[in-house]
């Protein structure tokens, strides 16, 4: 493994996890008897998390343990100061015994926090857990409850499997919250084709995500191309790599609208330059400073971005499909690396959803239209084919104009099955397979400025989660998601259905898991309840992780098919209606309000 690939390309250190060992502060034998098991519990928690988590850039997750056990407010303050200096972004308090809650809890309102109360009988940490959670809830400081199902013996430093699952789910979501804080969303252009998701709502980014907003007009691409504000050596290398590895597909335009070979060659050079420029705008490039462009070299510290493109750009210049697809993939001419988050049409709400998925899974994301529901009857009518297996109840066509990551071909594997993996697990052979499975088709005629679009079909059998944040007047942001699977169709059937949309764009055939009721009554109902024309697609069934993250940010979830035993929210949520979890989620989020307001 090449650890040199693991770099933090943004400003600011990676957040750490703070472990708070809480102890009964009474001296005279009580505290003294608990010092060792309490600190051992903290050490075991830190070791488990650091061994099982990585940041999305591949860097290891560091845990910081308080210098001493925390038996009162003075030691709590010392731990808080140490965590501040060390850059802690999320805390987990651990204890095997009763302690004094009000004197020992974490009171930082912006810090995601959990308490692991040891399930033992000698000095049960569960008593402290319940009391401390009550204190958090009374103070309006939501905290997550971690409590093992089975009783353990005092001094047992093992972590039960159910506790491990909650620790990981909480820590991944908490680190995502802390990683987004202080970063930027970069809008490259404004609103595309009247799509409301392109409207940048600054209060959403500021109040819910702790992010700032940056804006660059698309004319900046023209300025940098015409004045040569990009790395010339890298451009030549990138262009050569593109010509060698990106296979040109069919030009489906009518003869009178086909671009000449000379125009297509120029388009290829332009889209490669656009890719370099967009990346430099997001994260900067020290090479530009060497060229005399110190301001441009800094970038915008953008953890996510979106490109308007249609139509102000694409009526005259090559489209952004190549730029978006290459940036969001886990590799380019510089090798295998962390994917970027770049949304087509500057749909910043989909960009944020992609960002959530990336930070939780460490893998590339798919940007797609939720384009068409194909019923079994409709498929049979137009193709003569009867859908069977997982697709028997119908399929949803996920397709968009080229920005889907090439990882989405499914040519990477886990245990021999199609997958989308963290970049550090991807092999050079898998990169080649992803590239070979992709065709770059000259853009269709409504992209008047030309360009190239990605064309591939996602392999079937991959567990996937589609998700989307929507802004609702009077409510604010709302998350919806659906876990399911990619499916494959016979090639001739795929071709017939694909031709009815656009054969030059990437397709993922998706089937959600059904529950037989509500929004998941059937496949049609899932499609009919989707709140936007776009979705973000993550590899794996990660709905539980998304729900935990949303609760930290106080974003309610209106639609999901996650099993109840995988839903993990702060303990206060149960006070808003145990028997009505969706309504309780809305009420809790409304009561506590956005994390940073």
- The secondary element (H helix, E strand) that includes residue 99 is none
Q: How many CB atoms lie within 10 A of CB 517?
A: 8
- Angle at CA 458, nearest 5°, toward 452 and 464? 125
- Nearest of 406, 411, 307 to residue 350 by alpha carbon: 307
Residue for token pair 């971690």: 146
Residue 411 annotated in active site: no
- Nearest of 273, 343, 275, 263 to residue 310 by alpha carbon: 343
Crossing angle of helices 161-180 and 30-52, rounded to 10°: 70
Residues 6 or more apart whose CB falls under 8 angstroms from that of 323 comprise 271, 274, 275, 278, 307, 342
Rg, the chain, Cα only: 25
Task: Report the C-alpha gap between 391 and 373 in whole angstroms.
Answer: 12
Task: Report the C-alpha gap between 459 and 393 in whole angstroms.
Answer: 19
List the catalytic residue out of 103, 369, 425, 522. Answer: 369
C-alpha pair distances (Å), 464 with each of 171, 468, 486, 540, 580: 22, 14, 7, 5, 27
C-alpha pair distances (Å), 23 with each of 20, 61, 100, 193, 595: 10, 25, 8, 59, 29
Residue 269 annotated in active site: no
- The secondary element (H helix, E strand) that includes residue 535 is strand 534-539
List the catalytic residue out of 62, 345, 347, 411. Answer: 345
Question: Is 358 assigned to a binding site?
Answer: no
Question: Is 369 assigned to a binding site?
Answer: yes
Task: Report the C-alpha gap between 79 and 68 in whole angstroms.
Answer: 8
Question: Is 534 assigned to a binding site?
Answer: yes
Which sequence positions are flagged as catalytic?
345, 369
Indicate the annotated binding residues for Mn(2+).
345, 369, 534
Indicate the annotated binding residues.
345, 369, 534
């Amino acid at each position: 493994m090449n650890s040199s690939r693991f770099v933090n390309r943004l400003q600011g250190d990676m957040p750490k996890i703070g472990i708070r060992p809480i102890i009964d502060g009474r001296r005279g034998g009580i505290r003294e008897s608990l010092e060792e098991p309490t600190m051992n519990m903290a050490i075991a928690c830190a070791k488990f998390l650091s061994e099982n988590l990585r940041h999305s850039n591949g860097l290891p997750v560091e845990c910081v343990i308080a210098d001493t056990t925390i038996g009162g407010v003075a030691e709590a303050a010392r731990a808080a100061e140490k965590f501040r200096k060390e850059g802690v972004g999320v805390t987990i308090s651990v204890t095997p015994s009763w302690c004094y809650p009000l004197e020992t809890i974490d009171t930082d309102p912006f810090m995601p926090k959990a308490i692991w109360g040891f399930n033992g009988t000698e000095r049960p940490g569960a008593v402290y857990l319940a009391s401390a959670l009550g204190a958090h809830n009374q103070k309006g400081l939501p905290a997550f409850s971690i409590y093992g199902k089975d009783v353990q013996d005092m001094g047992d430093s093992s972590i039960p499997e159910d506790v491990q699952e909650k620790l990981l789910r909480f820590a991944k979501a908490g680190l995502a919250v802390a990683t987004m804080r202080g970063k930027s969303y970069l809008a490259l252009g404004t609103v595309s084709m009247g799509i409301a998701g392109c409207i940048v709502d600054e209060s959403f980014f500021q109040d819910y995500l702790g992010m700032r907003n940056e804006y660059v007009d698309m004319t900046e691409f023209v300025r940098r191309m015409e004045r040569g504000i990009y790395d010339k050596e890298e451009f030549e290398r990138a262009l050569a790599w593109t010509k060698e590895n990106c296979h040109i597909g069919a030009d489906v335009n009518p003869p009178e609208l086909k671009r000449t070979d000379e125009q297509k060659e120029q388009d290829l050079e332009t889209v490669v330059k656009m890719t370099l420029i967009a990346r430099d705008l997001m994260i900067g490039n020290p090479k530009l400073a060497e060229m005399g462009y110190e301001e441009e070299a800094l970038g915008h510290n953008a953890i996510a971005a979106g490109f308007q493109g249609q139509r102000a750009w694409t009526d005259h210049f090559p489209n952004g499909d190549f730029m978006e697809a290459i940036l969001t993939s886990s590799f380019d001419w510089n090798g295998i690396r962390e994917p970027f988050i770049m949304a087509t049409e500057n749909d910043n709400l989909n960009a944020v959803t992609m960002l959530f998925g990336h930070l939780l899974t460490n893998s590339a994301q798919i940007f797609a239209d939720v384009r068409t529901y194909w019923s079994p009857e409709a498929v049979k009518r137009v193709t003569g084919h009867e859908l069977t297996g997982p697709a028997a109840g119908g399929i949803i066509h996920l397709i968009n104009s080229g920005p889907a990551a090439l990882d989405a071909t499914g040519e990477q594997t886990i245990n021999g099955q199609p997958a989308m993996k963290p970049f550090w697990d991807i092999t050079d052979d898998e990169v080649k397979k992803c590239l070979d499975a992709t065709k770059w088709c000259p853009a269709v005629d409504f992209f008047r400025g030309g360009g190239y679009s990605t064309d591939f079909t996602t392999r079937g059998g991959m567990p996937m989660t589609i998700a989307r944040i929507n802004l609702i007047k009077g409510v604010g942001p709302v998350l919806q998601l659906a876990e399911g699977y990619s499916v494959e169709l016979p090639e001739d059937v795929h071709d017939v259905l694909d031709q009815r949309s656009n054969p030059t764009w990437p397709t993922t055939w998706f089937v959600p898991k059904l529950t037989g009721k509500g929004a998941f009554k059937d496949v049609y109902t899932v499609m009919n309840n989707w709140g936007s024309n776009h979705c973000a697609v993550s590899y794996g069934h990660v709905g539980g992780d998304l729900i935990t993250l949303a609760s930290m940010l106080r974003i309610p979830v209106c639609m999901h098919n996650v099993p109840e035993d995988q839903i993990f929210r702060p303990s206060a949520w149960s006070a808003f209606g145990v028997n009505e979890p969706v309504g309780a989620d809305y009420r809790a989020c409304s009561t506590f309000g956005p994390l940073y307001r």
